[in-house]
Amino acid sequence: MAELCDRHVFVIFGATGDLTRRKLLPSLYRVVTENGVADRTAILGVSPTEMDDAAFRALAWEALEEAGFEDVDAHAWCDERLFFETIAREATDYAPLADRIRAIERDLDMPGNRAFYLALPPVAFPGVIENLGRAGLNESGGWSRLVIEKPFGKDLRTAQELNYLVHRHFDEKQVYRIDHYLGKETVQNLLTFRFANPLFETSWNRDRLEAVEITVAEDLGVGTRAGYYESAGVLRDMVQNHLTQLMTLVAMEAPSGFNADAIRNEKVQVLESISGIDPHHVIYGQYTAGEINGESVVGYLDEQGVAEGSKAPTFVGVRIDIDTWRWQGVPFFLRTGKRLPERTTQIAVTYKPAPVCIFHGKADACPISPNVVVLTLQPDEGFEVRFEVKSPGTGGVESKAMYFDYEEEFQQLPDAYQTLLFDVMTGDQTLFVRGDEVEASWRLWEPILQLDDHPVYPYAAGTWGPAATNESLALWTDEWTMR
Ligand code: BG6
């Protein structure tokens, strides 16, 4: 029996925007139908666009059709459960908004539970939060939850200011900061992999491990988002949030329970135990023209909207040392970039070599490779364990692997947004970033963000970043470990 959520109004700010159309509406439809809660949810779209309920419903039909839902039920859901309110985002608009929410609650017999989802550019966050608070929409007879899209601040100071504003009006228990990587099934599986399998967890430490590598590679370029990317760059866009989340999930200690605060406490501890990142261990790159999947693509500087001579990095490789009893001496290598040869997210955990090699003549090099666990988070979700076997008929040793393929076992995996939206509806904060956690992450990356004139090396699109990466990071081996 699926879990049910309380009856509620789900208010989307930025209801006519791209995120709502591409992600939120299709995911909301999947969430409510798959969990049998369609009659427990009313969606109220909000934006400055002049539009009525009928026009918003038509927009939603299109969005659902584009996502592959063409059935009558999807149309009926839009007609019965979707509403729209035009507000210009002035403080005075929030009283009519509150009235509209109450009217919907009255008509649909809802007890006053509300989620406010800010699918907006970050500059709009403070105004909306302030106005929600002033209009008393931060509390109600039921619950009131605030969902904030990334980026949460653009450095430590702005993140602190935003937290301060949020906490003036909302208690942390009401706040859901989105990092969509946490909604990915395979990212969540990291905790199960580690803490439900003593086989791996008992060796997940400095006694047994040599290094951890985290790769988030994208084959796409910056696309139409140069306006944002020029000031964000790769560190703000991918590392401060997604890669940092992956690192903390790999490195955290076992939580005291499987609940939001216990898990988030341990993640914060990881961030706080990193004493700093050596700037010499940070290498930036920017893609130049090249070839991806046999097609020529332009360099970053020739993308639409990119400033002449821009130094915005589109690749970063970094080495992090975590100063805890578990991790001291086990380097973490992180890399991410746009226009790399393929789209893949992988975590490779390499074990120390056998202490003594008995499989070779005195003059020969030891033929044994270390054991490796490679967790592939996308696109071919699963993991592999590499181990050594005897080559039949010879005295040789070969590396082989055991594979687990998520989709083969479980078929289709839920979309990240689907998971996160249902968690908002049911009040589970586990997969959302806590206020102190987001600040701890900015605190870690702040000194690197402040480096002036840190070199940005060119790399041809379709390659794995600047040639100097491995040497600069003092990668523990010749090549990154990939599946
Ligand atoms: C977003 C970044 O947060 O994540 C994008 O802003 C990036 O630049 C995207 O492309 C990657 O997400 P995914 O889920 O495709 O790996």
SS (H, E, C) 123-159: HHHHHHHHHHHHCCCCCCCCCEEEEECCCCCCCHHHH
- Average pLDDT for 157-181: 97
Cα 194 to averaged position of ligand 1 atoms, centre (Å): 25
Mutate to test the pocket of ligand 1, among 215, 218, 417 (most ligand atoms within 8 A of CB): 218
Which sequence positions are flagged as catalytic? 242
Closest atom of ligand 1 to 416 CA is: 14
Residue 149 Cβ < 6 Å to ligand 1: no
Of the candidate ranges 104-113, 173-182, 329-338, 406-415, the one whose mean pLDDT is the lowest: 406-415
Cα 318 to averaged position of ligand 1 atoms, centre (Å): 19
User: What is the pLDDT, as a whole number, of residue 3?
Assistant: 62
Residue 237 Cβ < 6 Å to ligand 1: yes
The residues, ordered by sequence, that sit 6+ positions from 310 with a Cβ below 8 Å of its Cβ are 230, 286, 300, 301
Closest C-alpha to ligand 1, atom 5? 237
Residue 219 Cβ < 6 Å to ligand 1: no
Pick from 119, 121, 82, 106: nearest CA to 225: 121
- 1 has pLDDT over 50: no
Query: How many alpha carbons lie under 13 Å from residue 161 in its C-beta half-sphere?
Result: 11
Residue 261 Cβ < 6 Å to ligand 1: no
Q: Is 206 helix (H, G, I), strand (E, B) or coil?
A: coil
- Average pLDDT for 4-17: 96
Neighbours of 95 (CB within 10 A): 14
Closest atom of ligand 1 to 229 CA is: 8
Closest C-alpha to ligand 1, atom 10? 218
Cα 90 to averaged position of ligand 1 atoms, centre (Å): 31
Cα 220 to averaged position of ligand 1 atoms, centre (Å): 10
The residues, ordered by sequence, that sit 6+ positions from 331 with a Cβ below 8 Å of its Cβ are 211, 212, 319, 320, 321, 474, 476
Mutate to test the pocket of ligand 1, among 182, 236, 237 (most ligand atoms within 8 A of CB): 237
Closest atom of ligand 1 to 237 CA is: 6
Closest C-alpha to ligand 1, atom 15? 218
The pTM (predicted TM-score) of the whole model is 0.95
Query: What percent of the chain has a predicted confidence (pLDDT) above 90?
Result: 85
User: What is the pLDDT, as a whole number, of residue 359?
Assistant: 83
pLDDT tens track for 19-29: 999 999 999 99
- Let me know: does 149 contact 119? Beta carbons within 8 Å: yes
Closest atom of ligand 1 to 345 CA is: 16
- 135 has pLDDT over 80: yes
Per-residue confidence band for 183, with pLDDT thresholds at 50, 70 and 90? very high
- Average pLDDT for 434-453: 96
Block residue for tokens 């090549």: 479
Of the candidate ranges 259-268, 305-314, 468-477, the one whose mean pLDDT is the lowest: 468-477
Block residue for tokens 């139908």: 33
User: What is the pLDDT, as a whole number, of residue 72?
Assistant: 82
Indicate the angle between helix axes 260-272 and 435-449, nearest 10 degrees. 20
User: What is the pLDDT, as a whole number, of residue 452?
Assistant: 87
